[in-house]
Structures are given as structure tokens and as C-alpha cells.
Chains A and B, each alone.
Chain A
Amino acid sequence: MATAEHKHPNYMAIFWYLAILTVIEIAVIYMPLAKFTIGVLLCALALSKAVLVAMYFMHLRFETRTLGMVAITPLVIATLLVFVLLPDGFAVMKRTVGVKATATEPAKH
């Protein structure tokens, strides 16, 4: 049982990293950047926050590598799911863009 207790990292430092990353996230959406750039930045910031929580608060850093693989499997599956949904998305988008064009046309005249 005694071996169950591993070293505790500096939790307050992790807390400040998370707080600062959250502030940066909110600042990013007000920045005069392209929508795509903002999206990429937000994804990167959210992912780094998630990694910090998993690595230090959930002690994944001090666990075996195989447990880490169990932990990242959902991320891989969710990413694959996005690609699975893409073709369907494109098909619907083609239709809605068509509908949108016809819907806005009469308003022009």
C-alpha cells in the first residue's frame, strides 16, 4: 500500500498554467485574426490544457506507458469519427449551400 503513493508534482504551478492558458484562450477570440487561425489556436490551447490535467492532476505521467495508451484511445477514436463524418458533411453542405443561394437570390431583386 505504501508504494501506492507517488511523488506529488507542484500542483500550484499547474494551476497557474491552466489559469493563464484560459485567459489566453479568451484573449484569442478578440484578436483580429482569421477565423481559421483562431480555431487552430483554440484547439491547440484546449488540448494543452487537457494534457496538463491528465499528466499532472490525474498522475498519468507517473503511470505505466500502457495506461497512457488506454487514456489516449478515446482521442484517436474521436479524431477518426470526425473523418468518418466528413463525407456526409460535404454532401449535406452541397445541398444547404444550394438552398441558401436560391433563398437569397429573390431578395437581391
Chain B
Amino acid sequence: MSQAASMHGAVEAAESPLTPESWGKLGMWIFLAGDAVGFGTLLAGYGAMRATSADWPSPFAVLGINLTAAMTFLLICSSVTMVKALEWLGKGDKTRAIRFLFVTALGGAIFVSLQAYEWTHLIHRGLHINGNPWGASLFGTSFFLVTGFHGLHVTGGVIYLLAIMRVVARRPSPAASYNAVEITGLYWHFVDLVWIMVFTFMYLL
């Protein structure tokens, strides 16, 4: 913190205890912890419904995993471009940072588009939110609920990334937007992390 802050005890007390560089980062972590409980609840509920169902279809056979495997790979790649954006910003290269942020947002947009394509395909084959030709109707309910909830997170992330690109572009000093970009990164990597779980528990298992 600045020298002025260390001179006044009252100001010093306002420093975030866990993340000294910014309160925003602590705020994002707490938000993500709450969001993770939401996803954890959805997946635990999925597990409970599946374990107690007599005719749960085999997701791996019904959904097909080739496209989803590619989508998983795409999200991992977009996580890498996100950390690269932060790395370039730390080195003071605003142009490259913005470029990498844009590629990250593009990756997210392609992910959501592929998901829309997958949904359309599955709906045509008869997978609906209230029933499907292969067995337990809750299979469709939980599939659309969990992947939809994640897809909304990705959509929100793309908007978030585009907004933060504008912030980086407008602030004259790259150091001034470093924290904001790191916090955006936390959200984006979390979305990637959740997809790793969703891909494993809803497609592969």
C-alpha cells in the first residue's frame, strides 16, 4: 500500500486481509466460492437422481463426446490465452494484452455457439427437458439445467471480457488495469474449472 496508508492506522485497517493487493480479488473469490456451492449442489443432485433411477440412460452413449471433448479443449485453450493477456499486461504491453483478451472472449463465444449446436442436435433426436426416448425423464431435465447454467456463465464471461477490454484500452497505464484483469481471469478460469467437472460427471461417467 501507499506510504500514506501506513502512516494512518485507520486507513491501514481497511486493507483487505487475505488479498493485500485489492478488495476486489477477495470479493471475487467469495463470489466464486458461493457459485461453486451452486454448481456443487446441482452435480450432487444429479448424482442422487441418477443413483436412484432404474432406467438412467448411459450419457456417454446417448450424448456423444467427440464435440464436447473439442469444447473442453477449447475452454482450456481460452484459459491459456487469458493468463497470457495478464502476463503481457504485467510486462506493460497493452496492445498484446487486449489482443489476448479478445481471443479469450472469442473462444468463449465459439464454446457457446457449439453448445447451441449440440443442444439443437440433441433436441432433434428427442432429448427434451421433460422427457427423452432413452429412459428416465429427469436425464433431460438435469442435462439442460446443468449445461444451461454453465453456458449462461460462459455467456456472462464473454460480456465481462469485452467490458474489461474497454477498461484496459481506456486506462493510460497498463499497471492501472492489472488487478481488474486478474480478477476477470479468476472468473474465467472458474468457468473452465466447472466445465472440467461437468464434462466428467455428466458426459464421461
Q: Is A33 an interface residue (CB 8 A)?
A: no
Known interface pairs A3-B21, A73-B33. Does A29 touch B60 (Cβ–Cβ under 8 Å)? Answer: yes
A5 at the B interface (CB under 8 A): yes
Question: Which B residues fall within an 8 A CB radius of A?
Answer: 17-22, 26, 29-30, 32-34, 36-37, 40-41, 43-45, 47-48, 51-54, 60, 65, 69, 72-73, 76-77, 79-80, 82-84, 86-87, 90, 175-176, 178-179, 182, 185-186, 189-190, 192-193, 196-197, 199-201, 204-205
Total A residues in contact with B, Cβ cutoff 8 Å: 52
- Neighbouring A residues of B90 by C-beta, 8 Å: 5, 8
Contact B54 A99 (CB under 8 A): yes
As a 0/1 sequence over residues 10 to 52 of chain A, the CB contacts with chain B under 8 angstroms (1 = contact) are 0110110011001001101100000000110011011001100
Q: Measured between C-beta atoms, what is the minimum distance from B17 to chain A in Å?
A: 8
Bitwise interface map of A from 74 to 104 toward B, beta carbon under 8 Å scored 1, else 0: 1101100110010011001100110110000
Of the residues B37, B79, B178, B189, contact of A1 by C-beta under 8 Å = B178
Closest to B26 in A: A67
Report the separation of the CA atoms of residues A31 and B19 in the bound assembly, to the nearest whole angstrom: 44
Interface residues of A in 49-73 (CB under 8 A from B): 49-50, 53-54, 57-59, 63-64, 66-67, 70-71, 73
Give which listed residue, A11, A39, A63, A66, contacts B80 with CB less than 8 A.
A11
Q: Closest A-chain residue to B77, C-beta based?
A: A15
**A residues less than 8 Å from B37 (CB atoms):** 74, 77-78
CB pair B196–A78 under 8 Å, yes or no, is no
A89 with B51: CB separation less than 8 A:
yes
How distant is the Cα of A42 from the Cα of B33 in the complex, in angstroms?
A: 23
Q: Which residues of A contact B84 (CB under 8 A)?
A: 11
- Nearest Cβ in chain A — how far from B51, in angstroms? 5
> Does the CB pair B200–A43 fall under 8 Å?
yes
Q: Within 8 Å CB of B17, what residues of A?
A: 66
**Shortest Cβ-Cβ A-B pairs, 10 listed:** A78-B40, A74-B36, A4-B21, A46-B200, A92-B52, A85-B48, A57-B189, A81-B44, A96-B54, A67-B18
* Nearest-neighbor residue (CB-CB) of A30 within chain B: B60
